[in-house]
Amino acid sequence: MFFLLASCTFDHTPLPDNGYPPDVGRIITTQCSTPGCHTRKSKAAAGGLAMETWADLFAGGNGGAVVIPYRPDQSWLMFYTNTDTARGIVLQPTMPFNRPPLSLHEWQTLYNWIINGAKNNKGEIAFPPVEGRTKIYIANQGCDIITVVDAETRLAMRYIDVGNSPDLEFPHFVKVSPDRKFWYIVHLNSTYIEKFNAHDDSRIGTIPIGTGYWNTMAISGDGRYGYVVDLSDDGHVAILDLQEMKIIANIWGLRWPHGSWCTRDGRTLYVTSQYGNYIYKLDVSNLNFIQSERIVLAPGQSPHNFQGTLDPHEVIMTPDETKYFVTCQASDEVRVFDASTDQLIKVIPVGNYPQEMAVSQRYPYLLVTCLDDPCAQPKCRGSLYVINYETLEIVAVVNQGFYQPHGVAVVDLEGYAVVASRNLDLEGPPPHHASNCGGRNGFIQFVDLNTLTLQPQFKTEVSVDPYAVGVR
């Protein structure tokens, strides 16, 4: 009798305060955070993941976050503890390692906990909405999903579903408003854009824009007007009132328009003609009488639309708006123009297939992703060129660790740039995890703007085809 009572008392000894709700903490403490597995002491041999406390869990592992609040379908913890494909993705090796798998009740307990926010024992959620939080938005166009990354920890904190159709709508471009209050998603395959609240990332609604092969979006400095670009042979730009959430005008008759940039005063809109040798300069100060001119990128040439000459992809301005830059994906160049005269200042050769650009306010740097640049390392393809936008000289080339880098953005507050690698083909680095929508996961990496080197300790795997990056 004494032995039975003693055993009973031992079984009900309260678990240490590890921050987990009791039912969840009991599973993790007895099945996951055990000696030799996901403890602080042994995490180096367990994917860099410790699970001793709720805070340890949300510090993530070598591949980034393992639990995404409200999203068991995007939480790798659920994939590795699952043994039934009817419940979702099953990844190997099954956890707990070399031990019996979780019971259905245990697995369902974790699932229910995550779908309700994965809160701690005080009811607090990881990465709660905080005024002024710096966030990175990754448009994963292979999954109709947006990865929201906390800029301080560099961990995925939320996944946001976008689009209204069961078919892929391909979120191609993400744009944060100048006042940091909203972010917008442009889909390749839809007839609307979506507007979100940047404080809590809740969906505000849609703005109908009609049929088009929608690519990029520019916003006026006051945040009032948006310009969404249709990349078609006979393309156009939809002009939106972002406050009233409606289309107010269209600019028709553009050939293959793609990249876009609006001046802070909202008077001038630049749009590249992707299969040609020129860009459009549009006076949008009077929407009843929009004036257009074509700026030829190679002085002395006539404007034409023959694919394979220059093929301007993107356009961006310096913070003081005295110069603008154009990536030419066919000629592997960045061309620099005087904004007051539209005269060519310099041609800067860069790597193969230059795509996206970002500028820093804190450092005098223009960053350019080159999607197809060769790399000496295995499982590596592409580079990031860093150009001093004051001297117009290349100051660094980072060509390690990327694979098909495309989207790029600057996080000035933290002093780094974030680069998204699409990682689409089978020659790229094999993803550590599977996606619930098929395809190969991509990843994001970070370049220190003080040293202009890659930060190797941070490589965050995200969902399929991370194409564009925006920063709040």
Looking at the structure, do residues 111 and 195 belong to the same domain, yes or no? no
Mean pLDDT for back-to-back runs of 10 residues, the chain (472 residues): 31 66 95 91 90 95 91 93 89 88 95 98 96 95 96 95 93 97 97 97 98 97 97 96 97 97 97 97 94 96 94 98 98 98 98 98 98 92 98 96 97 97 94 83 96 89 96 96
Q: CB within 8 A of 337, min separation 6: which ones?
A: 295, 323, 324, 325, 326, 343, 344, 345
Which of 115, 150, 184 terminates a domain? The answer is 115
Q: For residue 83, how far is the Cα from the chain centroid?
A: 31
Closest CA to 142 of 440, 382, 431: 440
Domain-terminating residue out of 349, 383, 405: 349
Give me the phi and psi of 245, to 5 degrees please. Answer: 55, 55
The residues, any chain, with a CB within 8 Å of residue 286's CB and separated by 6 or more, are none
Q: How many domains does the chain have?
A: 2
For residue 250, what are the domain limits? 169-349
Domain check: are 183 and 106 in the same one? no
Q: What is the pLDDT of residues 70-120, one digit of tens each?
A: 999 999 999 999 998 889 888 888 898 889 999 999 999 999 999 999 999
Q: In this predicted structure, what is the pLDDT of residue 13? A: 45
Look at residue 341 and tell me if it is in a domain: yes
> Within 13 Å of residue 352, how many CA atoms lie on the same side as its CB?
10
Same-domain check for residues 339 and 220: yes
pLDDT of residue 89: 86
Q: How far apart are CA 117 and CA 132, in angstroms?
A: 21
Q: What is the CATH number of the domain that holds 286?
A: 2.130.10.10
Residue 412 lies in a domain: no
In a domain, 154, yes or no: no
Based on the domain organization, do 57 and 196 belong to the same domain?
Answer: no
Q: What is the pLDDT of residue 365?
A: 98
Residues 123-156: pLDDT tens digits?
Answer: 999 999 998 899 999 999 999 999 999 999 999 9
Same domain, 187 and 105: no
337 closest CA partner among 282, 386, 296: 296
